[in-house]
Amino acid sequence: MSIVDSLRPRAGLRVLVTAGASGIGAAIARAFHDAGSQVHVCDIDRAALDRLVVTAPGITGSMADASVAADVDLVFDDVRGTLGGLDVLVNNAGIAGPTGPIEGIDAGEWERTIAVNLNSQYYFARRAVPMLKRSEVGPSLIAMGSVAGRLGYAFRTPYASSKWAIVGMTKSLAIELGPQGIRVNAILPGTVEGDRMRAVIAARAAATGVSVDAMREQYLNKISLRRMVTADDVAALALFLCSPAARNLTGQAISVDGNLEYL
Ligand code: NAD
């Protein structure tokens, strides 16, 4: 295989993307689908799932709350039927969580953030790993982290805590699973264009008492390239991580963020 050919994932990879009906997860699901993979997604939003499977025929989907272990078990029942095995898990589910000073953060919101962002990755990993061990095409686990898992993030402590935990999980699983040929890497997106970032900027503007425009400017000024990244930038890295060219890449937390200098 030439180096150029090795930059694409092998055709026919069996890929599960959590929270894959919209946003970054959907961009990843579509990218793998376009690359000839068999893709199954799960999501908590039925309408978004329906839209995805209609616009990308061939992608299959399950309704699930990724933070609920029983829902995750049902997703794997579906995966056995639709994919028949698994070569790639993309642990993408994650919510922004609350914005505010630590003494103002509601315990329920803290727990929900940890449940969706961290517990979900554990529920999916523990079910996926036995299947990945049976894969014969260079199995891989991708964990969706964040720049908030590389830098401290004041007023977003629940989110940052969950995303730093993802890096610890990634590095531990890479060591644990490397001898069985399973690679484990985290992708750390920075500021991704889209509805979610608009909401994050608006919440932070409200929390700190500045206008939304001024807050957006502040966000761009922290990025060396002075632009946000796109969901497709993140999907491109996910494809690369599952390509033969990345066969010796594991245990890494890789940023896609235009070099976000500070938060
Ligand atoms: P998003 O808010 O656009 O949501 C994507 C999907 O997640 C939606 O379809 C939603 O229905 C689904 N979802 C939400 N809660 C769920 C749950 N409990 N179970 C199943 N599905 C659920 O998210 P996004 O911006 O695409 O982010 C995806 C991942 O990337 C997250 O882990 C996030 O932390 C990370 N990330 C995002 C950004 C960003 O700027 N958008 C930056 C860094 C990291």
For residue range 22-35, list pLDDT tens digits in order.
Answer: 999 999 999 999 99
Angle, vertex CA 167, rays to CA 254 and CA 239, nearest 5: 40
Residue 195 has pLDDT above 90, yes or no: no
The pairs formed by 201-208 with CB atoms below 8 angstroms and a separation of 24 or more are 203/96, 203/99, 204/99, 204/155, 207/99, 207/100, 207/155, 208/155
How confident is the model at residue 250, as a pLDDT?
98
> Could you read off the pLDDT of 148-158 as tens digits, one per residue?
999 999 999 99
How confident is the model at residue 166, as a pLDDT?
98
> Could you read off the pLDDT of 237-251 as tens digits, one per residue?
999 999 999 999 999
One-letter amino acid of 81: G
Percent share of the chain, pLDDT over 70: 100
- Helix extents (H) in 22-118: 23-34, 46-55, 69-82, 107-114
How confident is the model at residue 214, as a pLDDT?
95
HSE on the CB side for 77, CA within 13 Å?
9
92 ligand 1 Cβ < 6 A = yes
What residues contact 208, with CB distance under 8 A and at least 6 apart? Answer: 155, 215
- Answer whether 201's CB lies under 8 Å from 212's CB: yes
Which residues sit opposite 184 in a β-bridge? 141
> Quick one: average pLDDT of 159-180?
98
Going from the Cα of 26 to the center of ligand 1, the distance in angstroms, rounded, reads 10
157 ligand 1 Cβ < 6 A = no
Q: How many CB atoms lie within 10 A of CB 12?
A: 11
Instruction: List residues with catalytic annotation.
Output: 159, 163
How confident is the model at residue 127, as a pLDDT?
98
How confident is the model at residue 121, as a pLDDT?
99
| CA nearest ligand 1 atom 28, residue | 24
Residue 200: pLDDT band (50, 70, 90) is confident
Cα–Cα dist 98/176, whole Å: 33
Sheet arrangement for strand 88-91? 60-63, 38-43, 14-18, 88-91, 140-144, 183-189, 253-256
68 ligand 1 Cβ < 6 A = no
For the CA of 144, the nearest atom of ligand 1: 32
196 ligand 1 Cβ < 6 A = yes
Residue 196 has pLDDT above 90, yes or no: no
> Quick one: average pLDDT of 220-247?
97
Cα–Cα dist 38/240, whole Å: 17
Strands (E), 122-251: 140-144, 183-189
Longest dimension (CA), the chain: 56
Residue 81 has pLDDT above 90, yes or no: yes
Residue 51: pLDDT band (50, 70, 90) is very high
Percent share of the chain, pLDDT over 90: 95
Q: Which residues of 167-197 are buried (b: 16+ CB within 10 A; e: fewer)?
A: bebbbebbeebeeeebbbbbbbbbbbeeebb
